């Protein structure tokens, strides 16, 4: 009896994930099956649509649903948590040949924005007024320094590039004091300075061969925004 029930459950699960390839277990009305198919798929699609609104709008409804259905049917998630479905979708995109070359990076950018918006992380112990040249500058726990091949902050329904620009897109994405997630483009020197995780401000600037006064002005401006929270 137990084995039979387990087999029926797996048969039903396979059908719900991919009804085009897997028939349902016998004895269940099509009307009921339709309810289950729409309910389960709708839950996953709704979670992903909320996490990746720009990707959804940019792909358009037919391509978006085709992508979500393929994810739903073929990706084997390692987590039972709904809150981690968006991260699982990023992992799925890394393993497929997408029909547009910027899909993975755009999805990752939107995922980072959502993570920062929802984050309840706390900054480590630090000195808010610390000397940013003598001490080790610390980024806020709700700030990320990112580099992409594609201009992800510009991609949308009206801008879908076919070729990546020569220069990478370097971004600072952060949550401000009003809990709004914002981004700003970074110059290469600023990106390299902020991407370093060890060393005083002076040591980082020396390693980059950058002007100390200019570097200090940048760090101070970021402290004013709450991106740099002080020194360790």
Pick 54 or 77 by higher pLDDT. Answer: 54
Answer yes or no: is pLDDT of 102 > 90.
Answer: yes
Query: Whole-structure pTM over 0.85, yes or no?
Result: yes
pLDDT at 226 over 70: yes
pLDDT at 17 over 90: no
Q: Regarding beta strands 137-139 and 228-231, do their DSSP bridges make them parallel or antiparallel, or are they unpaired?
A: antiparallel
Three-state secondary structure call for residue 86: helix
Gap between the Cα atoms of 113 and 196, Å rounded:
21
Say whether pLDDT at 1 is over 90.
Answer: no
> The domain at 2-99 falls in which architecture?
Orthogonal Bundle (1.10)
Q: Are 91 and 71 in contact (CB under 8 A)?
A: no
Give the model's pLDDT for residue 3.
57
Mean pLDDT (the chain) is 91
Count of CB atoms situated within 10 Å of the CB of 12 = 16
Question: pLDDT grade, residue 43 (50/70/90)?
Answer: very high
d(CA 77, CA 67): 16
Decide: 66 and 116 in contact? Cβ < 8 Å.
no
Better-predicted residue by pLDDT, 32 or 2: 32
From 101, 100, 18, 104, select the one nearest 60 (Cα to Cα).
100
| Whether the Cβ atoms of residue 53 and residue 155 lie closer than 8 Å to each other | no
One of 3.40.640.10, 3.90.930.50, 3.40.50.300, 3.30.450.90 is the CATH number of 137-231, namely 3.90.930.50
Is 117's pLDDT higher than 60?
yes
Domain boundaries along the sequence of the chain: 2-99, 137-231
Express each pLDDT in 159-211 by its tens digit: 999 999 999 999 999 999 899 999 999 999 999 999 987 899 999 999 988 88
């Amino acid at each position: 009896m137990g084995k039979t029930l387990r087999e029926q459950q797996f048969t039903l699960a396979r059908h719900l994930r991919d009804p085009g390839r897997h028939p349902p277990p016998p004895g269940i009305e099509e009307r009921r099956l339709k309810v289950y198919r729409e309910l389960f798929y709708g839950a996953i699609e709704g979670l992903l649509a909320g996490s990746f609104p720009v990707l959804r709008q940019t792909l358009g409804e037919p391509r978006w649903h085709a992508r979500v259905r393929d994810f739903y049917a073929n990706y084997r998630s390692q987590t039972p948590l709904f809150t981690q479905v968006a991260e699982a979708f990023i992992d799925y995109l890394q393993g497929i040949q997408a029909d547009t070359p910027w899909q993975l990076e755009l999805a990752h950018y939107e995922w980072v924005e959502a993570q920062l918006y929802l984050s309840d992380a706390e900054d480590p112990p630090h000195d808010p007024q610390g000397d940013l040249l003598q001490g080790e500058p610390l980024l806020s726990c709700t700030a990320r320094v990112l580099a992409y091949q594609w201009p992800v902050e510009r991609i949308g329904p009206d801008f879908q590039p076919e070729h990546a620009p020569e220069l990478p897109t370097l971004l600072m994405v952060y949550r401000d004091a009003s809990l709004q997630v914002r981004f700003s483009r970074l110059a290469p020197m600023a990106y390299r300075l902020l991407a370093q995780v060890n060393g005083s401000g002076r040591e980082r600037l020396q390693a980059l061969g950058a002007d100390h006064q200019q570097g200090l002005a940048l760090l101070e401006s970021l402290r004013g925004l709450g991106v740099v929270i002080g020194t360790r």
